[in-house]
Amino acid sequence: MAAVTTERPVSRPLQGLESGRRRYREKIIVGSLFLCAALSIVLTVGIVLALLIPSLEFFGQVSPVEFFTGTEWAPLFKNSQFGVLPLLGGTLVVTLIAAAICLPLGLLAAIYLSEYAARRTRSFVKPILEILAGIPTVVYGFFALTFITPLLRENWLFGTPPGVFNALSAGLVMGIMILPTVASISEDAMYAVPQSLRAGAAALGATKYEISTRVVVPAGLSGIIAAFVLGISRAVGETMIVLIAAGGMPNLTFNPVEAMQTMTAFIGAAGLGDQATGSIGYKTIFAVGISLFVMTLIMNIISIRLVRKYREVYD
Amino acid sequence: MSTLRTQKDASTTPPVSLTSRRGWWHRTRDGAFRGAVTGSVLVGLAVLVALIVQSLVEGWPKLNWNLITSFPSSFPEKAGIQSAIFGTFWMVGIVLVVAIPIGVGAAIYMEQFADTEAWYNRFIDVIIQNLAAVPSIVYGILGLAFLARGFLNLGPVVLTAGLTLSFLVLPVVIIASREALRAVPSSILDGALALGATRWQGVSRQVLPAAIPGIATGSILAVSRAIGEAAPLLLLGALQFITFNPTGLNSSFTALPIQIFNWVSRPNVGFHVAAAAAIIVLLCITLLMNAVAIWLRNRFQQTW
């Protein structure tokens, strides 16, 4: 610094061009910033390795055919069974219930925010809705167990009422938890639809309902599907709600009032059991984990692609 | 109307028609749809209210100073959350030191220095978006395989949990910071460059300060998420009976969501009251942080 000023006392030099030391320092800074960004690659490789190595060992001991087609899951018992289908089925049931709540409600809420709400209403409704996304999942689990489940059990109209632990209440609460995610991304997509399309439809005499459902929703469709896919991916990956409210019993059934265990809930429960490192019980965590990871990864990639698509169309 | 329709195509409604000529059906349909979209938002808000009221009603008997100053106990009436609160503070500290600087650094690189056409930068871009959507329990598996067991074998201690949560919120910090940096118009940097500043000088002294409110909002939301996260900590083996505050990075710990899960999963209903009371404390912390983040965003939002 001092050397630079004594050499050129008249005016401050064009620093980027002239000062070698400065440029050197700048290179170090940019290099370390790049390392920060590259950490995301390290993390991804870390996740893949963490999942893959124990999973390969697991599949050395248990045949993949047994794992993916077996209908009984009891890995921690003496007479161990490694059929993952009950966990997959549990995940599917809870996810379907959550999707049945969050997809229609999320889309309608997005239409409300984007097309119907007055500017002032929107400015406080949207943040309040976003609070739903900020509530810790363990709180949702408690809510499902102590509020929704008793509510369902007391007012059940179709035969056998739900048990204390059931997939239905976990799925319903999970749907509400994911609602703001679906609404927010769908609304972004609708917001990107040019105003001129709405004005054109209105000029042709379309009502607000027609503008919303036949112009805005079709035009923002790729973003809306992206929101749906991401919402489903979040439902598949959610742990605490199912761990608390859906019970801990692997159960191959499609009856939502029964207790079931999802893939995530198994991983969480196995973690609680403090498995000895290297034991088959320990490795099942990773085998189920990699199945979960691959499922969500595929959905996330689809979702990211779709978002990119609608950005390209209107940006 | 009806003649128009039959002339064109009986199966589809004509796109062209005037509102004034429409009958009760169209008005009813519009009204019903307006009701449906408003109703869907109301459902979300109603659940939010029900959730808060339910926690308050259940937890009210135990919501007193003793809850905060006591340690966990096998008797629900004596149980408290002091060690859980301190554990949570320690983890927030680690997230602040690890995830925020690295996340902001990565965002600065991606927005201000990276050649967006280069394949490796586009690759990093996709990777970050993917990391943001990886289920939280998978981060628990990462922490389990490399930090708690395996490579470092640290066990379920403060450092393991803090680092795992830092990894979990890192993509959130990066994405929020990138958006904040992108909102600063490039003319600001161009001006600095034209006056002879180097790129780093322009970014660090002009662009970054302008983006601070946005970065702060994103960081607060990320920390609030870390505070509420339980699943990865469970997997690390953090569900323990801890009656002392953490003394260092290598200390065993418990955290608020872990303590709540512990109490919720007990059959003794007395512990459900304790869980509800702890939930009120947790909600106060996370909702307050959310409110601050939203306030920051609205207060300092700049239009250029």
pLDDT digits (tens, 9 = 90+) for B148-173: 887 778 888 899 999 999 999 999 99
Chain A: give the shortest CA distance to residue B108, in Å: 7
Question: What does the alpha-carbon distance between residue A96 and residue A84 come to, in Å, rounded to a whole number?
Answer: 18
pLDDT of residue B86: 93
pLDDT of A151-176, one tens digit each?
Answer: 999 988 888 888 889 999 999 999 99
What value does the mean pLDDT of chain A take? 87
Domain assignment of residue B111, yes or no: yes
Q: Which residue of B has its CA nearest to A17?
A: B198
pLDDT of residue B79: 83
The greatest distance separating any two alpha carbons of chain A, rounded to the nearest whole angstrom, comes to: 92
Classify the C-alpha dihedral B174-B175-B176-B181 as positive or negative.
positive
**Cα dist from A52 to A14, B114, B236, whole Å:** 52, 31, 18
Q: Is the pLDDT of residue A11 over 50?
A: no
Domain range for residue B88?
A: 65-300
Strand, coil or helix: what is A82?
Answer: strand
Q: Is the pLDDT of residue A76 over 50?
A: yes
Identity of the amino acid at B131: L
pLDDT of residue A19: 57
First to last CA, chain B: 50
Question: What does DSSP assign to residue B78?
Answer: T
Q: Where are the domains of chain A?
A: 15-61, 73-314
B16 CB neighbours in chain A (<8 A) are 204-205
Mean pLDDT calculated for residue range B123-136: 92
Question: What does DSSP assign to residue B252?
Answer: B
Domain assignment of residue B121, yes or no: yes
**Cα dist from A95 to A90, A98, A241, A307, B121, whole Å:** 8, 5, 12, 22, 34
Q: Is the pLDDT of residue A251 over 90?
A: no
pLDDT of residue B4: 41
Angle between helices A167-191 and A221-237 (to 10 degrees): 150
Report how many helices (DSSP H) and strands (DSSP E) chain B contains, helices first: 13, 0
Classify the C-alpha dihedral B74-B259-A268-A228 as positive or negative.
positive
Domain assignment of residue B213, yes or no: yes
φ/ψ region of A165 (left if φ > 0, alpha if ψ in -120 to 50, else beta) reads beta
Q: Residue B228 and residue A138: Cβ atoms within 8 Å?
A: yes
Question: What does the alpha-carbon distance between residue A260 and residue A253 come to, in Å, rounded to a whole number?
Answer: 8
Question: What does the alpha-carbon distance between residue A253 and residue B4 come to, in Å, rounded to a whole number?
Answer: 53
Q: Residue B33 and residue A212: Cβ atoms within 8 Å?
A: yes
Q: Among partner residues A142, A264, A304, which is closest to B129 by beta-carbon distance? A: A304
A23 CB neighbours in chain B (<8 A) are 198
**Lowest-confidence region among A147-151, A169-173, B9-13, B74-78:** B9-13
Question: What does the alpha-carbon distance between residue A160 and residue A227 come to, in Å, rounded to a whole number?
Answer: 35
Chain A: give the shortest CA distance to residue B85, in Å: 15
Chain A: give the shortest CA distance to residue B249, in Å: 21
CATH 1.10.3720.10 fits A73-314, yes or no: yes
pLDDT of B213-255, one tens digit each?
Answer: 999 999 999 999 999 999 999 988 877 778 888 888 888 888 9
B146-157 CB burial, b ≥16 within 10 A, e <16: bbbbeeeebebb
Question: What does the alpha-carbon distance between residue A185 and residue A191 come to, in Å, rounded to a whole number?
Answer: 10
Q: What is the CATH number of the domain that holds B289?
A: 1.10.3720.10
Q: Residue A47 and residue B141: Cβ atoms within 8 Å?
A: yes
Q: Which residue of A has its CA nearest to B195?
A: A14
Q: Which residue of A has its CA nearest to B19?
A: A205
pLDDT of residue B100: 96
- The domain tally of chain B equals 1
pLDDT of residue A8: 43
A51 CB neighbours in chain B (<8 A) are 138, 141, 145
pLDDT of residue A235: 95
Mean pLDDT calculated for residue range B32-56: 94
Q: Is the pLDDT of residue A7 over 60?
A: no
- When comparing pLDDT for B303 and A282, which is higher? A282
- When comparing pLDDT for B77 and B14, which is higher? B77
The model's confidence at residue A248, banded by pLDDT at 50, 70 and 90, is confident
A38 CB neighbours in chain B (<8 A) are 124
**Lowest-confidence region among A9-13, A135-139, A197-201:** A9-13
Mean pLDDT calculated for residue range B81-109: 94
pLDDT of residue A13: 46
Mean pLDDT calculated for residue range B110-123: 88
Mean pLDDT calculated for residue range A16-44: 83
Q: Which residue of B has its CA nearest to A267?
A: B235
E-strand ranges in chain A read 73-74, 81-82
Q: Is the pLDDT of residue A77 over 60?
A: yes
Domain assignment of residue B175, yes or no: yes
pLDDT of residue B18: 47
pLDDT of B180-191, one tens digit each?
Answer: 999 999 999 999
pTM for the model = 0.88
Q: Among partner residues A43, A179, A267, which is closest to B44 by beta-carbon distance? A: A179
pLDDT of residue A33: 94
pLDDT of B257-300, one tens digit each?
Answer: 999 999 998 888 889 999 999 999 999 999 999 888 888 887 87
Domain assignment of residue B16, yes or no: no
Q: Is the pLDDT of residue A258 over 70?
A: yes
Chain B: give the shortest CA distance to residue A34, in Å: 6
Classify the C-alpha dihedral B156-B158-B160-B161 as positive or negative.
positive
Q: Residue B137 and residue A29: Cβ atoms within 8 Å?
A: no
Question: What does the alpha-carbon distance between residue A224 and residue A183 come to, in Å, rounded to a whole number?
Answer: 9
Question: What does the alpha-carbon distance between residue B145 and residue B135 come to, in Å, rounded to a whole number?
Answer: 16
Question: What does the alpha-carbon distance between residue A110 and residue A190 come to, in Å, rounded to a whole number?
Answer: 8
Domain assignment of residue B39, yes or no: no
Residue A284: which of A272, A294, A271 has the closest Cα?
A271
Neighbours of A254 (CB within 10 A): 12
Question: What does the alpha-carbon distance between residue A297 and residue A233 come to, in Å, rounded to a whole number?
Answer: 8
Which two tokens mark A245? 């409210």
